[in-house]
Amino acid sequence: MSDTKSGVTLPVLPLDDDVVLPGMVVPVDISEAEVSAAIEAAQAVESAGKGAAGRAGGKPRVLIVPRVDGSYTGVGTVALIEQVGRTPDGDPAAALRGVVRARVGGVTTAPATAVGRSSGDVLWVDATTHDDAAPEGGYPGRVQELAREYKTLLTTYLQKRGAWQILDGVQQIDDAGLLADRGGYSPFLKTAQKLELLETYDVSERLGLLVEWTRAYLAELDVSETINKDVQEGVDKQQREFLLRRQMEAVRKELNELSGKPGSEEEDYRGRVEAAALPEHVAKAALAEVDKLERAGDSSPEAGWIRTWLDTVLDMPWNERTTDAYGIGEARGVLDADHSGLDDVKDRIIEYLAVRKRREEKGLGVIGGRRSGAVLALVGPPGVGKTSLGESVARAMGRSFTRVALGGVRDEAEIRGHRRTYVGALPGRIVRAVKEAGTMNPVVLLDEIDKVGSDYRGDPSAALLEVLDPAQNHTFRDHYLEVDLDLSDVVFLATANALDTIPGPLLDRMELVELDGYTEDEKVVIARDHLLPRQLEKAGLDASEAALTEDALRLIAGEYTREAGVRSLERSIARVLRKAAASVALGERELPLTVDAADLPDYIGRPRHTPESAERVSVPGVATGLAVTGAGGDVLFVEASLADAESGASGLSLTGQLGDVMKESAQIALSYLRSRGAELELPVGDLKERGVHIHVPAGAIPKDGPSAGVTMTTALASLLSGRPARSDVAMTGEVSLTGRVLPIGGVKQKLLAAHRAGIGTVLIPARNEPDLDDVPDEVLEQLTVHPVSDVREVLALALEPAHSTQTVAVQEGSGAAASA
């Protein structure tokens, strides 16, 4: 091998995808033919002993040239073959130490000393070496500064790796060039970066590259260490928690075996919670309680509370929903089959179903977390079918049905639940209703909502405000559960007998549907199609053994019972059938039997509600009025009398348990007649000296309201004029001091009451005329309704025509006649 001051001829030892820098000592596998041939060629030249040109320190030399993607680079490293031998595994290997950089000039022929000593696969090249020796006077300050910075970064890296021996060697390096070439040992540098270091002759540039790359890697290493630390802490925590739970399970197993109680799968609350597919917020709360349960001992009272709470949460139908039946025609058929009449209610339910179906078809079923639930208030007298209508609505919609009885509830906790800190705490009735229904979208009937009370324990009606508010009930929070419960898809039906006892804010959250009672024809149909078959079954009879004719049912509805609903009607039918069954058992009658109207006295006695208007108003001073009570519409009579002039009585007396408003109506009626007596041709002059007494019979029943004003005025006018009121006329309306007839409420119920009582003519305020649209046509056909706006019209229609003899008699002795 020839050698010059800067040029050498050396065999090439190719190194695939790796780079050796000067100063590095690397092992090389010489089992490959190319590598082995290069080693043998270098050894041959060294063995020939051709002077220093082929040797360096008496050791063979090779030119290590990186080969990237099958191509040789233009720069390599002159390396000494320090040792050739075998690895501990027995594979042939050589240890090479880089000495100096060399730029490949061109391919040449092998020296004569190497010919025949190698395999012939060796590539010989001419190369120019480059020495990195420090210049005289040392490196410039910039190079020394970069060297210190790189040494600091390299020290940090080696400390992180725990390579303390290598760190000691690095600390002893004073040569900047040698320090820069030590970067070839850095495992985080890529082959391209090491090759860039090899091709960079300037020491300052090499150090700058190494500082930049090492700083970036350390920053990345810090982030990676932070992430790994967090992950490791999480893994350690999970492993520790897993081990502790297994230990707890083992301890509990041992305790169960000692106590003779084998473990149960049902007691594994954590597994039950994880398998229950609860909503995310519910599952999070449940797992937190499970953690508390596992930390608490069996003797802790808190453990029992937690188990009860978990059982309640797990029993809730969080993911259960029934599919609504959207056949509108079929739904109407179900409602018609279950209830006769009540068209307003049925129309409202059908409207709700139709709108809900359209929303579902347009993808508007859930908006903002809220679904399209409904809140309807069914208000009407007892026995009209409000409660049973809830079941029919549930059947029509294909939903589960549950009933919540609110009558007499006075504790707010009955609605919102009790706090878990109390002994025997339970969720509220709303949560229990949803749990019993088994779905999150049932039909819930809030029965007798007008009879909710309040005391020192709170106001349940105030707690119902959130339950029945469609804008709030999608996040209803029960005090016991303490997790959000979505009630927005629940259909709430509230029933009430009267509106005046329902708080205004609560009533405002419900859609009002009034059930004003049944006509006589509707009662007959209900009795024939529903009540009679049900009572036949209860009496152990069938339709072929016993029957009631339609005339008998009509007589029971008209004269044996007088109500807005049908409960008394059903009880009367039940009495007839029980009497029939008893008489058959005693041998007094034989089956089959048919009960006609004429047979009813033998079964249930004589009628108790016969028309009495003609008898009651046969004398002056009595008028027939109409009123609304909790049991529906009713007929009331107002009686008036004048005290004898010699008795010394004066002023106005009122009896019959009248309320303040009704007393004021009597005062207004008397004041009006006093001021308009001459105009109405009534002898009112002696009213100052004779006391006036107004009485409303059924004195045990409290009465109040302004609608009896025209009735009181008519009774007083009848008394003063001596003209009896017409027996077939009933009236309602508030009267003013100027004689105006003002509007009132409950027109439909009052007209139904008049119809039941056999009255043919009804006087109502003119401003209530639009309310006639709600009255059934069959009732209007049998009534003559006169809208009136002034008391003069009322008196003209309500009083019998005047007779001179009657007028004289009344003027002379009206007190005695009126007292009758």
When mean pLDDT is compared over 77-91, 247-261, 641-655, the highest value belongs to 77-91
Whether 787 shows a pLDDT value over 50: the answer reads yes
The reported pLDDT for the residue numbered 811 is 41
Pair 91, 25: CB distance under 8 Å: no
Annotated binding residue 385: yes
Which CA distances in Å does 250 have to 177, 254, 268? Answer: 65, 6, 13
User: So what's the pLDDT on residue 49?
Assistant: 63
User: pLDDT for 742-754, tens place per residue?
Assistant: 999 889 889 988 8
Q: Is residue 59 over pLDDT 50?
A: yes
State yes or no: pLDDT of 252 exceeds 90: no
Per CATH, domain 141-215 is 1.20.58.1480: yes
Asked whether 764 and 747 are in contact (CB, 8 A), the reply is: yes
Establish whether the linkage from the previous residue to 724 is cis, with ω within 30° of 0: no
Answer yes or no: is pLDDT of 734 > 90: yes
Model confidence band, residue 352 (pLDDT cutoffs 50, 70, 90): confident
Q: What is the mean pLDDT of residues 518-528?
A: 87
Q: Would you place residue 438 in the very low, low, confident or very high pLDDT band (cuts 50, 70, 90)?
A: very high
Question: What confidence score (pLDDT) does residue 261 get?
Answer: 52
Q: What is the mean pLDDT of residues 429-446?
A: 93
Where in the chain is CATH 3.30.230.10?
613-819
Instruction: State the pLDDT confidence band at 436, using cuts at 50, 70 and 90.
Output: very high
What pLDDT score was predicted for residue 115?
58
Higher pLDDT, 188 or 294: 188
pLDDT grade for 600, boundaries at 50, 70 and 90: very high
Q: What is the pLDDT of residue 810?
A: 42
Over residues 555-565, the mean pLDDT reads 85
- Split at pLDDT 50, 70, 90, the class of 598 is very high
Classified by CATH at the fold level, domain 520-604 comes out as Helicase, Ruva Protein; domain 3 (1.10.8)
CATH 3.40.50.300 maps onto the chain at 328-514
The residues assigned a catalytic role are: 707, 750
Predicted TM-score of the model (pTM): 0.61
CATH code 2.30.130.40 region(s) in the chain:
7-130
| Residue 381 among known ligand-binding residues | yes
pLDDT of residue 372: 62
Average pLDDT over residues 736-741: 93
Residue 319 Cα to chain centre, angstroms: 11
pLDDT of residue 294: 76
d(C-alpha 412, C-alpha 462), whole Å: 8
Confidence of residue 341 (pLDDT cuts 50, 70, 90): confident
CATH class of 7-130: mainly beta
- In the chain, which residues fall in CATH 1.20.58.1480? 141-215
**Short-list 452, 448, 449, 468, CA closest to 460:** 452
Pairing of strands 729-731, 761-765: parallel
What confidence score (pLDDT) does residue 123 get? 87
Given a cut of 50, is residue 344 above it in pLDDT? yes
Average pLDDT over residues 318-339: 84
Work out the pLDDT band at 402, boundaries 50, 70, 90.
very high
Residue 618 pLDDT class (50, 70, 90 cuts): confident
Q: Average pLDDT for residues 666-689, to the nearest whole number?
A: 83
Give the confidence band of 51 by pLDDT, cuts at 50, 70, 90. very low
Higher pLDDT pick, 262 / 224: 224
Q: Is the pLDDT of residue 264 over 60?
A: no
CB crowding 234-272: b at 16 or more within 10 Å, else e: eeeeeeeeeeeeeeeeeeeeeeeeeeeeeeeeeeebeeb
Six-digit token string for 326: 């959207």
Give me the pLDDT at residue 365, please: 61
Query: From CA 696, how far away is CA 712, in angstroms rounded?
Result: 9
Q: What is the mean pLDDT of the chain?
A: 84
pLDDT interval class at 715 (50, 70, 90): very high
375 assigned binding-site residue:
no
Q: Out of 256-270, 296-310, 364-378, which region has the weakest mean confidence (pLDDT)? A: 256-270
pLDDT score, position 803 = 61
pLDDT at site 369: 52
Q: Which residue has the tokens 């109040």?
A: 704
Mention every residue, 6+ apart, whose C-beta is less than 8 A from residue 727. Answer: 613, 614, 616, 617, 618, 624
Correct CATH for 328-514 of 3.60.15.10, 1.10.357.10, 3.40.50.300, 3.40.50.150: 3.40.50.300
Q: Is 625 annotated as a binding residue?
A: no
Distance of CA 246 to CAs 251, 296, 746, Å?
9, 16, 72
Q: In the prediction, which pLDDT does 729 show?
A: 94
Confidence band (pLDDT; 50, 70, 90) for 785? very high
- The partner residues of 763 in beta bridges, in order of sequence, read 731, 786
Q: Quickly state the pLDDT bin for 537 (edges 50, 70, 90).
A: very high
pLDDT cut 90: percent of the chain above it? 29
460 in a labelled binding site: no
Instruction: Find the mean pLDDT for residues 305-319.
Output: 90
Which residue, chain included where needed, has tokens 């025609």?
A: 329
Q: Is 633 helix (H, G, I), strand (E, B) or coil?
A: strand
**What pLDDT shows up at residue 758?**
83
Residue ranges, comma separated, of all CATH 1.10.8.60 domains in the chain are 520-604
Report the pLDDT value the prediction gives residue 3, as an integer from 0 to 100.
Answer: 36
Q: Give the pLDDT score at 602.
A: 92
pLDDT of residue 807: 42
- Give the whole-angstrom CA distance, residue 310 versus residue 270: 10
* For residue 576, pLDDT beyond 70: yes
pLDDT value at position 645? 65
Name the pLDDT band for 398 (thresholds 50, 70, 90). confident
Which has the minimum average pLDDT: 51-65, 516-530, 662-676, 786-800? 51-65
Question: Could you tell me which residue, 812 or 548, shows the higher pLDDT?
Answer: 548
**pLDDT for res 188:** 86
Is 11 annotated among the ligand-binding residues? no
What gap in Å lies between CA 322 and CA 303, rounded to an integer?
35
Query: Is residue 426 a contact partner of residue 384, using CB atoms and an 8 Å limit?
Result: no
**Candidate CATH numbers 3.40.50.720, 3.30.230.10, 3.40.50.970, 3.60.110.10; the one for domain 613-819:** 3.30.230.10
Q: Which pair of structure tokens corresponds to residue 158?
A: 């080696």
The full 3-state SS of 235-302, as one line of letters, equals HHHHHHHHHHHHHHHHHHHHHHHHHCCCCCHHHCHHHHHHHCCCCHHHHHHHHHHHHHHHHCCCCCHH
User: Residue 59, annotated ligand binder?
Assistant: no
Residue 758 annotated as binding?
no
The pLDDT of residue 119: 46
